[in-house]
Structure 1
Amino acid sequence: MSLQYKFPEDFWWGSATSATQIEGAACEGGKGENIWDYWYSKEPNRFFDEVGPETTSDFYHQYKEDIIRMKDIGHNTFRFSISWSRLIPGGEGQVNQHAVNFYNDMINELLKNNIEPFLNLFHFDMPKELQDIGGFENRKVLELFKDYAKKCYELFGDRVKKWFTFNEPIVPVEGGYLYDFHYPNIVDARRAFQVGYNTMIANALAIREFRNHSIEGGQIGIILNLTPSYPRSQNPADLEASQMADLFFNRSFLDPAVLGEFPEDLIEVLKKHGQLPTFELADKALLKENTVDLLGINYYQPRRVKAKEHLPNPYGPFMPDWYFDNYEMPGRKMNKYRGWEIYEKGIYDILINLKDNYGNIDSFISENGMGVQDEGRFIENGKIQDDYRISFIEGHLKWLHQAIEEGCNSKGYHLWSFMDNWSWLNAYKNRYGFFSVDLKTKKRTAKKSAYWIKEVSKNNGF
């Protein structure tokens, strides 16, 4: 059959997930408490249907069968995260041998099935004891993160070649320190920017440790949720609003990760509002010398903005939103189940920007996906007919293909996610997987999209 969209040789087909969202076994195998376990125990009402992280999708017990399912639908790569609080309960000190055995077995099982493991060190799940001393506000925690990273390289670096320091490091900043949708529920921009700054110092420390460890054939990267900012119009005020949104939400992490320095414009804005984080003199060289080899890009929806309609409240806390308002473009295409805009070309715009302004760094789509509520509505002949997900993926892959044709260094596509998983405050409200998960029995059932991606992967295109 002739393929209209053929992808490069050795393209990475797979999916992504994180420890807290699929492992379950939150109180088993010697695991320590992370901020999600703690917050759920205190305020279960803030989680959809009061479903917490204690069992989730039970990957901890079912990983062998799940990996066979991955192989069956054509995965050649799979990104997961290590739970810091499982590997080193409390975040420092002794390594938990139960956790080492679990992660070793999982990695070996992936390799046995010809699926390359992509290992991410941190995905929103700070050990509770470290959050109690300030989390990434505290420089001591950066050193502990470096020690944790080093321990992971020693334990798993003989088999794992693709490493990532952080997934979406801006999200704990936004959720935990600005907009109140993650623990510790602080609303304080100065502390938010300190956490963001320190996270990038932790990133550089972990990269330096990785290079010292010299994993043969290894690459280390970071995974960023890059959301293009589109102005309402070409009016200068709208253009400036979109540049400011881009500065706060994209360049704040992209520039230090890839270029080794924070944007001057961002430093100026924070200085103007008295929001600059504290730093150490050695930080500048550390950032410059320890940039990423590989960039994971998470893309779900665009950000559309316009100039402010009203002046910000001078008595309210400083927010990035002092510089723009969100804009709902009339006639935009929507995922009506999730309330998010679908704009497939965004994937292309991100990659062209990386090619033009970031040295065309090696990258891949590390997350893209469509969350839908009550997917049981679409069951026919025992399986969910998720044609909406197939068309969503197809639309994004066409623009990804276009970017590659134009010389962008994109190496792969990972769907979020392999199976329905627990999504922080939303728990299981919106389902994203190639496989559905029955919350009572934990039974997995392939959706129509699983059969579709199997063919795409087999043909390396469609």
Structure 2
Amino acid sequence: MSIHYAFPEGFWWGSAVSATQIEGAASEGGKGKNIWDYWYEQEPYRFFENIGPEVTSDFYHRYKEDIQLMKEIGLNSFRFSISWSRLIPEGRGDVNPEGVRFYDAVIDELLKNDIEPFVTLFHFDMPLVKQNEGGWENRAVVEAFADYAKTCFQLFGDRVKKWFTFNEPIVPVEGGYLYDFHYPNVVDGRRAIQVAYHTMVAHAKAVEAFRKAEIKDGKIGIVLNLTPSYPRSGHPADQKAAKIADLFFNRSFLDPAVLGEYPAELIEILKAYDHLPQTEEGDAELIRNHTVDLLGVNYYQPRRVKAKDHLPNTEGPFMPEWFFDAYEMPGRKMNPYRGWEIYEKGLYDIMINLRDHYGNIESFVSENGMGVQNEERFMQNGIIQDDYRIEFFKGHLKWLHQAIQEGCRVKGYHVWTFMDNWSWMNAYKNRYGLVSVDLKTQKRTIKKSGEWMKLVTRNNGF
């Protein structure tokens, strides 16, 4: 096989996942309840086919087998999250020894197989006790998170060198406080903005704890779902709409995390609408002095926007959509199963933006993947022939390769995801894995995309 796209030596080929989406064992091993366990108990009908987080892909019991498959595919890195409520069931206080034992075992098994563990501290799964205290609206929960982070660094920092405070911190803001697709199902712009702000303070406090822990060769980052905002046209109103969408959905976390400060334009908008969050003295300095070493970039689809067709209802809750409308570009390429546009060049545009406006920070693609429903229909001889996924990966990797050629400091590419997993309200509706999981038997089978990835990792390119 001749290699057209060769990647830098030591490139991180891997996959990403979160605790709640693969571990299962939701009420085993001393784990406390998180908001997903609770919400599913309360409203199971809001989850696709009424499937909750109790068993998911059973990684808790099958991690050795799964890590062997990762090794077989040739992955050299794996990003997973620690479940805060598994490690510290009440969110603060006593550490659960069974939780420690589990994560110790996973980390050791990965290292034994030459797979580097990348660990995320928070991936949407607030301990229920802490949510009942107000979640990220409450400064005390911010302090509890800093303690939890410190505990993780002490327990696992001897072996884990790549740490990430949050995965897609804007999603709990959108889902939990604006658009009603995560618990606590609040729709309130003011509270959403406070949650977003406190999340950033929690992030900075965790970075501070990391610096104090002095982990040898360690790096700390954050994982953001960066979504380029493309205007419908060159018209000034469309351009302005795209700029504001970018402020809300990208720069609200990207700027403070990488540059140490919030964009002045975002502050102006929130001030004009009397929606500035409550801050405390010393916050600005804390954020300024605790920027990240490394940025994870999750990319699935672009955001296309246009100037608003109608004035917003100012009696309704304050929303980012007061400033733009979504735009559906005619003739766009689609993943019809997920209803998402496929636009591979978006990944290149993100990386060039990081190069030119964010000090060319060291970054990697921390998630990129394609979800498809009813994949069984593509099965031949017991293997899912997911050529569409291979094409999706290829298209994105070509543009990523181009960005590297043009000087972007891109260190790796992690697919979402290693094996089919439970996906929040969508449960098992869309499958994303390189490996299929039979929900009845939990049997794992490498898909055609997994076989393709084997060749990529072996050749460090394709």
For 2:280 and 2:67, the matched residues in 1 are separated by 44
- Residue 93 of structure 1 is matched in structure 2 by 93
For 2:4 and 2:45, the matched residues in 1 are separated by 49
For 2:87 and 2:391, the matched residues in 1 are separated by 39
- Residue 345 of structure 2 is matched in structure 1 by 345
For 2:237 and 2:290, the matched residues in 1 are separated by 36
Q: Secondary structure at the match of 1:217?
A: coil
Q: Secondary structure at the match of 1:149?
A: helix
Superposed counterparts of 1:360-375, under 5 Å: 360-375=360-375
1:410 pairs with 2:410: yes
Q: Secondary structure at the match of 1:234?
A: coil
Q: Secondary structure at the match of 1:165?
A: strand
1:229 partner amino acid: S
Residue 360 (structure 1) shift: 0.2
- Residue 422 of structure 1 is matched in structure 2 by 422
For 1:274 and 1:39, the matched residues in 2 are separated by 32
Q: Secondary structure at the match of 2:233?
A: coil
Superposed counterparts of 1:61-80, under 5 Å: 61-80=61-80
Superposed counterparts of 1:26-41, under 5 Å: 26-41=26-41
2:197 partner amino acid: Y
For 1:314 and 1:282, the matched residues in 2 are separated by 33
Number of matched residues?
462
Superposed counterparts of 1:293-312, under 5 Å: 293-312=293-312
Q: TM-score, normalised by structure 2?
A: 1.00
- Residue 459 of structure 1 is matched in structure 2 by 459
Residue 337 (structure 1) shift: 1.3
Q: TM-score, normalised by structure 1?
A: 1.00
- Residue 384 of structure 1 is matched in structure 2 by 384
1:227 pairs with 2:224: no
For 1:361 and 1:312, the matched residues in 2 are separated by 37
- Residue 238 of structure 2 is matched in structure 1 by 238
Residue 440 (structure 1) shift: 1.1
Gap regions ≥5 residues in structure 1: none
Deviations 1:260-301 (A, max 9, x none): 011111111011111110001100110000000000000000
- Residue 151 of structure 1 is matched in structure 2 by 151
Q: Secondary structure at the match of 2:401?
A: helix
2:74 partner amino acid: G
Residue 317 (structure 1) shift: 0.9
For 2:355 and 2:390, the matched residues in 1 are separated by 28
For 2:284 and 2:337, the matched residues in 1 are separated by 44
- Residue 60 of structure 2 is matched in structure 1 by 60
1:27 partner amino acid: S
- Residue 253 of structure 2 is matched in structure 1 by 253
Residue 215 (structure 1) shift: 0.2
1:409 partner amino acid: R
Residue 415 (structure 1) shift: 0.3
Superposed counterparts of 1:435-446, under 5 Å: 435-446=435-446
- Residue 278 of structure 1 is matched in structure 2 by 278
- Residue 199 of structure 2 is matched in structure 1 by 199
For 1:129 and 1:362, the matched residues in 2 are separated by 36
- Residue 142 of structure 2 is matched in structure 1 by 142
For 1:323 and 1:208, the matched residues in 2 are separated by 35
Deviations 1:314-334 (A, max 9, x none): 211110000000000000000
Q: Secondary structure at the match of 1:176?
A: helix
Deviations 1:325-379 (A, max 9, x none): 0000000000111110000000000000000000000000000000000000100
Residue 435 (structure 1) shift: 0.6
For 1:126 and 1:444, the matched residues in 2 are separated by 29
- Runs of 4+, deviation exceeding 3 Å: none
For 2:446 and 2:271, the matched residues in 1 are separated by 52
Superposed counterparts of 1:330-341, under 5 Å: 330-341=330-341
Q: Secondary structure at the match of 1:413?
A: strand
For 2:327 and 2:36, the matched residues in 1 are separated by 32
1:127 partner amino acid: P
1:324 pairs with 2:324: yes
Moved more, 1-10 or 150-159: 1-10
For 2:276 and 2:141, the matched residues in 1 are separated by 20
Residue 383 (structure 1) shift: 0.5
Identity %: 72
Q: Secondary structure at the match of 1:166?
A: strand
Residue 122 (structure 1) shift: 0.2
Q: Secondary structure at the match of 1:271?
A: helix
- Residue 395 of structure 1 is matched in structure 2 by 395
The CA RMSD measured in Å over matched residues stands at 0.5
1:13 pairs with 2:13: yes
For 1:358 and 1:314, the matched residues in 2 are separated by 35
For 2:401 and 2:225, the matched residues in 1 are separated by 20
For 1:360 and 1:238, the matched residues in 2 are separated by 28
2:52 partner amino acid: G
Residue 2 (structure 1) shift: 3.0
